Amino acid sequence: MPSKHIEVKTFKLAHSTDDTLRIEHIEKPYGEYSSPVVSIAVFSHGKTKTSEVEIPYENIEEFLKALNESIALCDSIPRNPIHAELNSEIGGGA
């Protein structure tokens, strides 16, 4: 029996025009007796898969912990507010 892909969620990636991220549950990804995985794939223009990672469910908790650590690290790095150099809430053009 071939693998079965079940879409969990697809959403637009921030800071892109039309790239999306799709999360899927995959049953039997590597053959009849393989364990299910979670697939996280990026699609360019909503159609062409540009990257993908498959994570075994046994690693999900560790993966989520690492994502939360990454968020905390990102939040700890000082940054200038968006458009601070313009002293404005929105960007401007020339």
2 and 28 in contact (C-beta within 8 Å)? yes
Give every residue of the chain whose pLDDT is below 50, as ranges. none
Structural domains in the chain plus CATH codes: 4-78 (3.10.450)
Percent of the chain residues past pLDDT 70, beyond the cut: 86
Report the Cα–Cα distance between both ends of the chain, in Å, rounded. Answer: 59
Measured CA to CA, the distance from residue 86 to residue 94 in angstroms comes to 12
Output the pLDDT for position 15. Answer: 85
Q: What is the pTM of this model?
A: 0.78
Q: Is 39 exposed, middle or buried (0-12, 13-18, 19+ CB in 10 A)?
A: buried
Cα-based distances in Å from 7 to 21, 22, 58, 79, 94: 11, 7, 19, 36, 44
